[in-house]
Structure 1
Amino acid sequence: MHHALPDRRTGRCAVSVRLLRQRSLGRPQLWQPPLPELPKNKTSDWLAKQTDRLLPVHHFLVTFTVPEELRSLLRSNQREGYAAIFACGSETIRDVGSATRSLKGCELGFFGVLHTWGRDPTVYHPHVHFVVPGGGVNKKLDRWQQTAENFLFDHGTACRVYKAKFADHLRELGLYDQVDASVWKKKWIVDIRAVGDGRSVLKYLAPYVHRVAISDNRIVSVDEKT
C-alpha cells in the first residue's frame, strides 16, 4: 500500500509505504545520522506512529536514487518519475531479498519516504529512503527468520536489478528514448546502512516528511528579484 503526501507549495512529495515482503543491500555500516530539532504536531505525530510500528529487531536504511543525467527527465515528469523510483526500489528489495538465503520464503514489512533534495536544499536530487527490518515471517514454516545485523542482501545484485527495472519502467512510460544511452552503462547507486533498532533514522527522517526544503530560518533576505 502506497501513500503519497504532495506538498503543492514546493513540488515536494513525501511518500509513505507499507509493504509485506522485502529486504535490501550489502556492505552496510552502522549509521548515526544528525538529529535535527523536530517541529511539533504533524511531525511528532508521524514519528510516534512510525516508532510504534517498529519491530523489536535490527533495521536497515536502504536508499534508491537515479544518476544525475536522469534528474531533468524526472523533474519534467515528477508524478511518473517519483512513482518509478518507489516502485522499482520496492520490487528490487522484494526480488533480491527473496533470493537471499536467510530470507527465503519470507515476507517483510517496510515503509519509505521520498526526498527531492539532498544535503544541499537548492539541488534537485530525488531519492527514496526505505526503513527495512532485518528479518521477515516465513508463512509456510510459520516462523520468523532473521538476517545478520550487518547484512541484508547483496549490494551489487541490488544495483543491477534496480537499474534494469528502472529501464523497463521508463519503456512502459514511453520515456526510455529520452535517456542518453550512456546512463545504462553506468553503475547505479543503491545505498544500504545498518541503523540499529531504527529509532535514530526515524528521528532523522521525521522533520522532512512535513517540511519544505528551504525553511524560514534558512532565508537570509527576500527582494523582488529573488
Structure 2
Amino acid sequence: MKTVIFDLDGTLADTSGDLIAAANYCFRDMGAGDVLDPAQDAGTALRGGRAMLTLGMGRLGRAQELATIDRYYPVLLEAYGASIDVHTQLYPRAMEAVDRLKTNGYGVGICTNKPEALADTLLQRLGVRNAFAALIGADTLPVRKPDPEPLYETARRAGGDPMKCVLIGDSDTDRNTARAANVPCILVTFGPAGGDMAALQPEALLQDYADLPDLVDRLLA
C-alpha cells in the first residue's frame, strides 16, 4: 500500500496558541509575565517547547541559563497537556482530504516530533484520532525526525511500503526527513512559516487541502 504521512503541528492543525500559552505559564511562574506573543512567535511555537523557552529566556537576557530551560521543560509539557485544545484548530478541509485519500486507497498516518502521548491526547480531543492508522511521536522510537526511521515506521504501521509514501509537513525538519528517506515531500504554505517553504524545494507546495489528493496521486503515480 502507498501511504500519506502527516506532520501534526503546523501541518494538520494550528497548535501555536496553546503552545504559546504553556510557555507563558512558565515565564509567569518565573515572575516575568507573558514573554511570548501568540501571533509573532507562532513559528517558534511549532518548533517545540525548548525552542519557545530558549526564545523567551533570550528576551529576558537569560539565554545562558540552560539549567532553567531544562527545569521548566517538563513544567511546560504539563501545562500544555492540561490545556491542549483551547485554541487549537484543524486547518480547513484537512480531514476532508484525509477521507478522500483513504477512499482512494492510501493509508494515512501521523509522524510528529510532539511526544506521542500528547499527540494522541490532542487527536482524541479533536475527534480525529481514529482517522489515522498510525501515530509516531518524538519518543516512540529511539530517534526522531529528521532521522528517516520514524517516517518509515509510520508508513509500516499504516500498512504501507515505507519507500512508497509521501510526507506532508511545514518545516525544514520535514523536508530533511523526506530527503533522508528518499521519498517526496509536500510542504504547506498556510502555516506560520508558509512563506519560507518554497526555498526548501519540496516536490510540491500545498496552498489548500482541497488540492492534496491530486498532488499525492501525481507524486506517487
Structure with the bigger RCO (C-alpha within 8 Å, sep 6+) is 1
* Bigger strand share: 1
* Bigger helix share: 2
